[in-house]
Amino acid sequence: MIKNTIKLNAVFIAGAVFVFSLIGCGGDPLKQLDTPTRGAIKVAVDDSYRLLMDTEIYTFESIYKYSRIDTVYSTEGEVFEYFMNDSVPLIFVNRKLTDQENEILTSQQIVPKTTLLAYDAVALIVNNDNPDVKIPYDRINEIFSGKITKWSEINPSTQLGEIRVVFDHYQSGNPRYFKEKFGLDSLPACCYAVHSNSEVISYVENNRSALGVLSVNWISDKRDSVSNDFLSRISVVGISSPGDNDPGANYYKPYQAYIAQGLYPFLREVYCINRQTYSGLAFGLSAFVASDKGQLIILHSGLVPATQPIRIVEIKK
Cα–Cα distances in Å, from 231 out to 156, 210, 235, 248, 305?
27, 16, 7, 26, 22
Q: What is the DSSP string of 140-172?
A: HHHHHTTS--BGGGT-TT----B-EEEES-TTS
**What mean pLDDT do residues 79-95 have?**
97
Q: Which of 216, 209, 300 is nearest to 265 (CA)?
A: 216
Global pTM reads: 0.84
What is the reported pLDDT for 14? 45
pLDDT in tens, 173-187: 999 999 999 999 999
What is the reported pLDDT for 209? 94
**What mean pLDDT do residues 247-270 have?**
94
What is the reported pLDDT for 308? 67
- The Cα angle at residue 108 between residues 105 and 113, in degrees rounded to 5: 40
pLDDT in tens, 37-55: 999 999 999 999 999 999 9
More confident call, 247 vs 92: 92
What is the reported pLDDT for 297? 96
Q: Which residues, 6 or more positions from 122, have their beta carbon under 8 angstroms from its beta carbon?
A: 174, 177, 178, 213, 214, 215, 216, 254, 266, 267, 268
Q: Which amino acid is at 189?
A: A
Long-range contacts of 187-191 (CB under 8 A, 24+ apart): 187/144, 188/143, 188/144, 188/145, 188/146, 188/149, 189/146, 190/143, 190/146, 190/149, 190/162, 190/163, 190/164, 190/165, 191/144, 191/165, 191/166, 191/167
CA distance 274 to 282: 7
What separation, in Å, do the N-terminal and C-terminal C-alpha atoms of the chain show? 88
| Pairing assessment for the beta strands 210-215 and 113-126 based on DSSP bridges | antiparallel
CB-CB contact of 127 with 234 (8 Å): yes
pLDDT in tens, 190-216: 999 999 999 999 999 999 999 999 999
CA distance 73 to 77: 11
**What mean pLDDT do residues 152-168 have?**
93
Per cent of the chain over pLDDT 90 is 75
What is the reported pLDDT for 311? 57
pLDDT at residue 224 greater than cutoff 60 = yes
pLDDT in tens, 282-302: 999 999 999 999 999 999 999
Q: What length does the chain have? A: 317
pLDDT at residue 78 greater than cutoff 80 = yes
What is the reported pLDDT for 31? 53
